Amino acid sequence: MARPTDGRYTQPMNSTSNSGEDTLATDTQALFDPIDKAVTAALHDNHIYPISSYGWLDAYTADPKMIGHAMWQTEPPFEFSYGTESEQSEPTEYQRYLTILGADFEGLMELACNSLGIVLWRQNETIVDHFGDNAKFWSHYTGTLLILSMASDRLRDFFVMAYFNVNFTKYRSQKREFRGPFVESRLSPRGVGTQLKKLLPLVEEIQKNRSIRNKLVHEVATRSGKMNQSLFNSRRKALGKEPIREAKQSWGKWKQEVAREIKDSGRYLSGWYNTLVSASNLVFEIEHRLRKKRQRGA
């Protein structure tokens, strides 16, 4: 909310206190700036970019490989135009629903991108804690995993409304599987068969990611227990042998396994994010083409 412009805020009551707050804010930002730059570099190194940056070769030329994103950005189902001569009539249920779902999807993808950046930045962090498990990495990993799952759900809901002209709550009463509406759409291509053919393999990948989501979260939540189980196993093997040497070997194997899991997990999340970028490009293109077709009365 903007501050009132009646003069009440023109002069701080305590300029010394305000100066201190400004200094603190500056100092805090100085701490965040190098982290933000490092996180952005980690994203770019892994070819991850904000969802809003897709769709264009330059400021004026749409990317033919990401035309759906360009269509969504320049010709959405409804455009707000308060107080202008081009004020539109009240949006239809279709326009309202898709506008909200599309904004939800973009917002979740922005969250996922920011969270994934921290995951990719921390995956190369030198582990200094005693157990060497990089708990901070796994906390951001779990958050990114859940955000990507929610973004997947929003994209499916958007597709259901765009293709079947019904919200997912009504559609869900008959169809349970994530890929269900996408598979059903192939039975009636409606002039977007090429896009649907490209979309289905991406949908299968998203469904696989969603199906193992809970398993992955459980694995992260029980990492400490598994680590202690490994210690017990190494202790049992060391009986009658050289315990210190056996323990060091077991510990070395554990740290190597953790490093491998961290790398694999970063790649897994990056793959899911990019799959959603490609899938949403096709979903946005399908919605745009079907909408134009309805407007022509075809």
pTM of the shown model: 0.81
The confidence score (pLDDT) of residue 197 equals: 96
Mean pLDDT of 87-113: 92
Structural domain contains residue 198: yes
Mean of per-residue pLDDT scores for the chain: 83
Domain extent at residue 245: 75-295
The confidence score (pLDDT) of residue 135 equals: 79
Structural domain contains residue 26: no
The confidence score (pLDDT) of residue 80 equals: 82
Mean pLDDT of 43-64: 96
Which of the two residues, 193 and 5, has the higher pLDDT score?
Answer: 193
Structural domain contains residue 63: no
Q: Report residue 297's pLDDT band, with 50, 70 and 90 as the boundaries.
A: confident
Residue type, 276: L
Q: Report residue 3's pLDDT band, with 50, 70 and 90 as the boundaries.
A: very low
pLDDT in tens, 224-240: 666 666 666 665 655 55
Note whether 109 and 151 are within 8 A (CB): yes
Number of domains in the chain: 1
Mean pLDDT of 137-161: 95
Please give the Cα distance from 253 to 38 (Å, whole number).
29
Structural domain contains residue 201: yes
Q: Above 80 in pLDDT, residue 84? A: no
Please give the Cα distance from 294 to 298 (Å, whole number).
6
Structural domain contains residue 96: yes
Structural domain contains residue 29: no
Structural domain contains residue 56: no
pLDDT in tens, 176-227: 688 899 999 999 999 999 999 999 999 999 999 988 887 888 777 776 666 6
